[in-house]
Amino acid sequence: MTEWPFLSWSPDDAAAAVYDVTVDGAWEQLVAFYAGGASCPPLERVVALAREHGVRSLVVEQRQLDPDWRSEHAAFHGRLFRRHPSVTHRWHLFTTEVDPADVTALDPSSYRGYTTLRPLPATPVGPTMIAPPPGLDGGVRCEATERVSLFGTALTVRAMPFLSQDAEYLRCAHATLWMVLRHAHLAHGIPRRLSAEVHDAALGGVIVGRQVPSEGLSVQQMMSGATRLGLSPGLVHLPQTRAEDDDAGMLTLGGILCRYVNSQAPPVVISRAHAWVVVGYRRVSAAPGAGVRLWRHDDARGPYLEVTDPFDEPDEAHRPWQAALLPLLPQVYVTAERAEAAGEHWFRGYLSQADPDEPIAGADLTWRTYVTRSDEWLEDLDARGLDPALVRLYRLTLMPEYVWVVEAVDRGARARGEPDVVGEAVLDSTASTHHEPLLSGLIALHGGRIAHRVGPDHGQRREVRIEAPGHYPTGRRGRA
């Protein structure tokens, strides 16, 4: 690994440099410079994604004031004997050609995101928002939209935030916490948290090693840090072998993780020696285990990495998948597993009353569970093609800010790629978890021809009948 002189990081006062990355060797030269000649899997993965997107031009801000790097610099890197600049570079990726003579003439429709480069040889990749790869098209993804202003042009990118560790001040546990917190900021409006705040919030408690420089975090420190910074995390143990997964019933590895991806709550998976964030999945009939293929952000390897088989990981650092930290919002008391158990319980009662000719009566049913803002869910009902009487019933139902939705899914329709929902249970996300299965948590229920809602104060029930029940699309977000 080579280090560049301190002043070479910003060689002049130009606002930007433009690179034609279609030229042979252009990407390799850039990676070699920013990684100091060393191997840097996260940066190499960013380049691989850029190539998949057909990026043609790279606009580099040469003196970006990144709040996260500045927080780390003030807390740690600025205290070292060897100086590190307090400014970063930021790559902006465009699929069209950018004229080096006029970097203000940008095409927002060709923007595919950015990556921040810290002045740290070998570990340069800072905050990154890059569009998901084509392999996740049609999948379910945890993502949010960020607006970026570049030389007077407003740009937007929809992605899952990524950050790599620097192996001194930030380790993999810090990076995963930062990712889920930045996503929660962009997607759910919790306050923005800088990387140094994440580091400090996770100090103390059950310590696994030195804190500064960091030797990593315990699970307890991760839970404590997430709580202090505005989340209400849960922890669930995962099946560690395929045999355990086959015997796990509702609590399969894929089932657990996908419920939280459905909910835009990206779960952090913890192994014996590493941690990463599950950011998306696709249903693949040939996939081992639960029939889904997962994607992860791995701070040491890069964003949007496909996981072939969680129970047969080639890298020892990923073995085994021991537990998942679930980054739920403070307004959500009920977990996905309890919500799904309650929804299935209520559906079973409806199924016993269904007429033989209803879609829900003859379907091979499974359940799709997610938490969502109730106002967003209600606003989307018309676009999903629900019966007008059902839409009106739901819109006049009193709901908390967040609700769990358990959809009754027709497996056959899902396999054909058709609208697959034949009903849903809407549950109070703040319901008492003492009574099973959340007997006081049902807000509304629809299955086939029957639908009803229940008032929260007086328990008044209003029922409607659907004359021509059918299938309709899911209300889960994150599918593109």
In the three-class reduction of DSSP (H, G, I as helix; E, B as strand; rest coil), residue 325 is classed as strand
- Summarised one tens digit per residue, pLDDT across range 103-135 is 999 999 999 999 999 999 889 999 999 999 999
d(CA 143, CA 186): 9
In the three-class reduction of DSSP (H, G, I as helix; E, B as strand; rest coil), residue 143 is classed as coil
Where among 326, 346, 371 does a domain terminate?
A: 326
Res. 288 pLDDT band, cuts 50 70 90: very low
Q: Which domain holds residue 16?
A: 6-188
Q: Which of 455, 260, 445, 475 is nearest to 374 (CA)?
A: 475
Q: Which of 81-85, 266-270, 404-408, 461-465 has the lowest mean pLDDT?
A: 81-85
Please report the sign of the dihedral spanned by the C-alpha atoms of residue 427, residue 447, residue 353, residue 361: negative
449, 350 Cβ separation under 8 angstroms: no
199, 106 Cβ separation under 8 angstroms: no
Residues 157 and 252 in one domain: no
Residues 322 and 343 in one domain: no
* Number of domains within the chain: 3
Domain membership flag for residue 341: yes
Residues 57 and 141 in one domain: yes
Residues 171 and 58 in one domain: yes
pLDDT > 70 fraction of the chain, expressed in percent and rounded: 95
Q: Which of 119, 50, 53 is nearest to 82 (CA)?
A: 119
Where among 278, 299, 326 does a domain terminate?
A: 326
More confident residue, 361 or 366: 366
pLDDT at 360: 81
Cis amide prior to 437 (ω within 30 degrees): yes
Residues 25 and 168 in one domain: yes
Residue length of the chain: 480
Q: Which of 155, 152, 174 is nearest to 164 (CA)?
A: 174
Domain membership flag for residue 202: no
Residues 16 and 137 in one domain: yes
pLDDT at 188: 96
In the three-class reduction of DSSP (H, G, I as helix; E, B as strand; rest coil), residue 97 is classed as coil
Domain membership flag for residue 477: no
pLDDT at 289: 45
User: Beta-carbon neighbour count of residue 434 at 10 Å?
Assistant: 7
User: CA of 50: how far to CAs of 113, 303, 337, 338, 479, in Å?
Assistant: 9, 12, 37, 40, 21
Pairing of strands 402-410, 111-117: unpaired
More confident residue, 347 or 285: 347
Domain membership flag for residue 207: no
d(CA 53, CA 38): 25
Domain membership flag for residue 70: yes
Residue 18 above 90 pLDDT?
Answer: yes
pLDDT at 438: 65
Average pLDDT over the chain reads 92
Res. 352 pLDDT band, cuts 50 70 90: confident
- Summarised one tens digit per residue, pLDDT across range 75-88 is 999 999 888 899 99
pLDDT at 98: 96
Where among 301, 326, 351 does a domain terminate?
A: 326
- Summarised one tens digit per residue, pLDDT across range 29-56 is 999 999 988 899 999 999 999 999 999 9
